[in-house]
Structure formats: C-alpha cells, structure tokens
Chains A and B, each alone.
Chain A
Amino acid sequence: MTEVSLLSLVKSYGKSIALKGISLSVGHGEFVSLLGPSGCGKSTTLKCIAGFEDISDGKILFDNTDISRRLPEQRDIGMVFQSYALFPHMTVAQNLAFGLEMRRVPKSEIATRVARAMEMVQLTPYAERFPKALSGGQQQRVALARALVIEPAILLLDEPLANLDAKLRDEMRGFIRDLQKRVGITTIYVTHDQGEAMTMSDRVVVMFDGEIAQAAPPEEVYNHPASERVARFVGNANILDLAVTGKDAAGSDLALPGGGALRVDSPAPWANGRLRVMARPEQIALTDPGAGHLGGEISKRYFSGGHVEYHVDTQCGPLVVLGPTTQTVAEGQTVALAFDPARLWPIPDPKGPAQ
C-alpha cells in the first residue's frame, strides 16, 4: 500500500518518444487503469514503474521517495504479465515460493504463505502441477498469486486478461477486483478494453500517443470526457456540432437543424461560435416524428439481446441510439430523437475556452 507518483515522466527510444511527460498520482490502495489504443505507451509506463526501462526524464516516487534509479529487484513490486511469465520448470508451489526465497523468508513460513496464497486463488489442488498442465485461467491465477504472495507495495498488471476467452475474462475481472479490495494493495492495471477499465477501476487514465488525455473515475470519463477523442475511445459517442444562439452565465442555447432548440450547461462555445456536444446512445430516446428535438430516419436496426441498436440518419449526421426491446421501430421508418439536456456533455474546446 504505497502511493505512486509519476512526475513529468519522459521515455524516449532513440528519436521516438514513447512517453511525453506523464504526471499521475495513485493513492494508497487505489485501483487505477491505464486505458488507451495500441502503442499509446501503457506498457512503457508500467515498465518504467517496475524499473525494466530506464526513464529519460522526470521522476517516479513511491511514498515520496525517489526510486527512479532503483533496480527492479529493489522496488518491491508485484507484476503480472500478459504472457503470465510463469517459470515453466517449477511447479505452482515452487513458482509461488520463488519470490519468498529471494527475500530469504524462513522455510516454514514460506510453506504457510504459499499455502495461503494458493487458497486465495483457489489453486490448492494444483500445487504440484507444472504450468504447462494448467488452463489459461489457472495460469493467470498462479501469476496473480505469485505477484501477491511477496506482499509487494504495488501491484502492476499488463493486460492480464488479454489471452482469456470472453466468459473467463468477465469472471477474472470480478476476481481480481475483489482480491485487490481485500488485500488493499495499490494497483495499476493496463488494458485496451474500455469495459474492463470501467468495471474494475477506481480511476481510469486514458492515454493517447504517450500523453494522458484524462484521469478520472469511470463515470466521469464516460459521461464527461475531456475531449472528443476520449469520448469516442470510451464507449460509443454521438457528437453533434451545433450553433450557439445565446449564452448567459448558466448555460448556452443551441439550435438544432430543423428548428429544434436545446439548452446545455456550458461555460463557453468554441471559438467559431458553435458547440460540440456529446450524447451517449442510451441517453437519446426515439419518439414519434414531429416530437423530440431532431428528425431522422432509421437506416439500420440491430437486436442484441438486452437492447436494440439503431443507426439513425439525421441532419447532424448518422447517430447511434440504444432503445429498449419493448419498442418496435423498423428500418426505414421516420422518427424523431429526444435528448436529455441535463446529460448532454459539451466537449471542452481543445484550444481553451473562447472569450
């Protein structure tokens, strides 16, 4: 349970810069996910924290102590790799004991701690098996137990669920989350799966091109993305580019094509006198033509069990709407879309607020 602070972390590989000055603080016992597309620098960040990569600039602090120059074996970190990285020539029990042996823990204590760790990940019957004779999910739990048995200060996980099938992945999500809460260990979790990041984390850190785009709790990232790119990366986003007709201290009046009007809480329009607002698919309702804010025509309809996904052509471009299965709207039908003004999110202007 250690606080981790990254201060303007820079990592360059020759001319290419993988991390362009990352600053982030992870609190005691907090579960933080690094989320972003492939190549954005998630693994690099983790490797820098673990000490497998030397940082080019900046600092890494554990509980206010600069550990940037410490060797990986001196950082007291538990790490879980995407490939699990189990020692193939050691049994499950030997894999778990390795870290304790390195710490010169007495033999009898090793035995009890290994037994406890195996129980924790429900692998007691597999103690004498070699990794090859375990399923992917079991290997994954061994990797987790091996990282935790040494009771490290920090737990780092790099896409630990990427090699599992969907069902097992869901199961392991809950498992890791519960375990982390129970042990109370400060955790940094790398994933490119936004669902995973949302369900597991206390805070999600969205990264693009070696920079942090937003670091906030899952609801905040989902409902109030800091930029259009974040909005589109985290879930499905409808972005409407609307003209601002009026503005006061409390909000802005927006005009929709076709005569509709909306009012949103917004500090300022973009520099060009327009505002880009985001509406999540489930925040838009389908109504009869004439009602609602914006007219449109259903171009595609996909049934997906719990709900129905509609692709609607509108004067604001194609939008995606999630509707309940109780409502039946056919492809080609003319409809109107009703927005919930309170939930519309005006996307901040990347060039800063216009005056």
Chain B
Amino acid sequence: MKRLRASLLIAPSAALIFLFIVLPYITVLVMSFRAPAEGQPYGEGFSLEGYTHFFNESYYAMSLPQTMFLGLLTTLVCLVLAYPVALHIAFASKRWRGFLYGIVLSPLLVGIVVRSYGWTILLGNSGVINSTLRNMGLIQKPLPLMYNDFGVVLALAHVFLPFMVLPLLSALQAMDPAITQAARSLGASRFTIFRRVTFPVSMPGVQSGCILVFVLAISSYVTPALVGGMRVKTTTLLVVDALIDQFQWPFGSAMALILAVSAGIVVLIFARLTRMKWT
C-alpha cells in the first residue's frame, strides 16, 4: 500500500522523463542506424554508415576534439572567474548578498541570442573594440577577436558564468564559518586556509559547476554559431547542419549520439578524478 502510494507520487515525473527523454533517445538511437538516402531523410533498412562516415571524414571527426577543447576551456575560464565572485558573495553582508545575487543572475534574464549577438557587436572586425583601438591609432589591422576559439570561449564563458557561480556559492555557504577560524587558530595563513581548507571543502560545488558548464558549453548552438560565424566547427553545429540543412537524419543522429557519449565519458573521467571520499 505504502509502496503503491509512493510510486503514484513519482508517476507524473517518471512519465514525463520517459516521454521527453527516454523515448526521444530511443528514437535517435534507432534513427542513427537507418540507411541514408537521397532526397528523403532516411532510406530502407539499417546500416552503420552514419557512424563510419563521421569517423572517416576528418572534417567531421576533428570537430569532436575541437568541441571538447572549447568545452573544457570554457569550464576552466568560468571556474577561475566565478570562484572569487562566489567567495565574495558568500562572505558579503546579508544586505549586499541579495543585490550581488541579482547581478550574477541578471544575464539569465536576457535571451541567449541577444547576448551572443551583443558579443558580435563588441568583437567584430568593425566592432566596438576594434574600431576604438583603430581610432586611437593603436592598431592598423583589426584584431581577430571573433570567428575563432577566443571569441567563442569568451562568449560561452559569459553566457554560462551564473551556472558556475551558483553551485560554488551554495557549497561555500554550506561551509561552517568556524572551520576557517579553527584553521587560523591552528596557525594557517589566509592563503593556506584557502588552499587546504576552503577550496577542498567547496569541491562538491566545483564539481557540479564544472559538469554543468561543460555540458552546456559543448551542446550550445546559438553562441558558437553567431560568434564563431560557422568558422569554429563544433559537433553540435554539424549535427544541426546534417539534420536540418542536409536532411540526413541517420548521420545527424549518429553524430548527436557520438557527442553525447563522448561528453558522458569526459564527465565520468572528471568525476572520477575529483572524487571525494568524505562527503
């Protein structure tokens, strides 16, 4: 009876997950093994061509390390930028905390398209930065700020920064403030306390923030498309290209799955490396 009532409670969410996550994945999985065809999304019968095509063509295959590289770099940049912010908010006075919280979250209120487009205005060859520098006579040729890894990572880090700040913040706030005092009374300097106590204790937040940002970064489409201008080829861009522009559903599905599995492996390795025995 109790068991039944409990399963009734989770039934709606279970149904939603099945309908919108499990079922689509199964569909994609089946689709990735379909035979390709001309003039229609897929043909009769099954084949492995979606997968072999990806790994045999370096144009496609090389997008995978490129995507992972962008994802990891974005994660690292977010971590380095977000940690001081989170520390500051965690130890700010109550009155300030709400305000700072709002500032961190405010970018989320502006759509991702608008924010990415904003970066193109700033970074473009005749954008704000380049034209200012040129008018000041500091440069002759525009600096390559856009249509490259630099621009894409910069824009991605900006877009996903709140997703790093929030887990870090909650980990830091969950920390007993007395433990830093204990460390001080034991003779540790402020830097040692950060290195040996604060940072390791905030590790659960570091871990979830990194995983979140990494997964969001490698699967993002709008920002690399706008800021990278299709010149930075990420697997996600190629997936959309295959599905919508080239109308090759099996190939697109296979690429999507390869990306998902690769991301899963990276996340697993990361989680393994940062495993905490004490939580």
Contact = CB atoms under 8 A, between A and B. Distances in A.
Interface string A77-98: 1110111011111100000001
A102 B187 contact: yes
Given A83-B178, A88-B201, A130 B187 contact: no
A87 B181 contact: no
Given A85-B178, A132-B278, A73 B185 contact: yes
Given A89-B200, A132-B278, A79 B182 contact: yes
Contact of A52 (B179, B184, B188): B184
Best-buried of B186, B188, B196, B278 by chain A (most CB within 10 Å): B186
Contacts of A88: 179, 201, 278-279
A89 B204 CA distance: 11
A351 interface: no
A146 B183 CA distance: 10
Contacts of A137: none
A99 B183 CA distance: 8
A72 interface: yes
B277 interface: yes
A103 B183 CA distance: 12
B277 A73 contact: no
Contacts of A77: 185
Interface in B188-214: 188-189, 192, 196-197, 200-201, 203
A71 B190 CA distance: 11
B176 interface: yes
B178 A103 contact: no
Contacts of B188: 73, 98, 102
A174 B183 CA distance: 27
A73 B278 contact: no
Given A87-B197, A89-B201, A89-B276, A73 B179 contact: no
B178 A130 contact: no
A75 B186 CA distance: 9
B186 to A, nearest CB: 4
Contacts of B187: 73, 99, 102-103, 150
Given A73-B188, A78-B185, A130 B277 contact: yes
Interface residues of A, number: 29
Interface in B111-149: none
A85 B186 CA distance: 12
B95 to A, nearest CB: 13
**Listed residue (B181, B189, B203) with the most chain A CB atoms within 10 angstroms of its CB:** B181
A50 B200 CA distance: 25
A3 B196 CA distance: 32
Residue of B179, B184, B192 with most partner-chain A CB within 10 A: B184
A73 B182 contact: no
A177 to B, nearest CB: 22
A98 B278 contact: no
A75 B188 CA distance: 12
B206 to A, nearest CB: 12
A79 B181 contact: yes
A71 to B, nearest CB: 8
B181 A98 contact: no
A89 B203 contact: yes
A308 B248 CA distance: 91
Contacts of B185: 50, 72-73, 75, 77-79, 147
A87 B184 contact: no
Contacts of B189: 73
Quick one: which of B182, B184, B196, B201 has the most chain A CB within 10 A?
B182
A281 to B, nearest CB: 38
A82 B178 CA distance: 9
Contacts of A82: 178
Contacts of B196: 98
A71 B188 CA distance: 11
A87 B277 contact: no
Given A89-B201, A130-B277, A98 B179 contact: no
Nearest to A79: B185
Contacts of B200: 89
B200 to A, nearest CB: 5
A51 B183 CA distance: 13
Nearest to B175: A88
A102 B189 CA distance: 9
Interface of B: 176, 178-179, 181-189, 192, 196-197, 200-201, 203, 276-279
14 contacts: A52-B181, A73-B186, A73-B189, A77-B185, A79-B181, A79-B182, A83-B178, A85-B176, A85-B182, A87-B179, A87-B182, A99-B187, A102-B188, A130-B278
**Top-10 shortest CB links A-B:** A99-B186, A102-B187, A85-B178, A85-B182, A130-B278, A79-B185, A81-B178, A72-B184, A85-B179, A89-B200
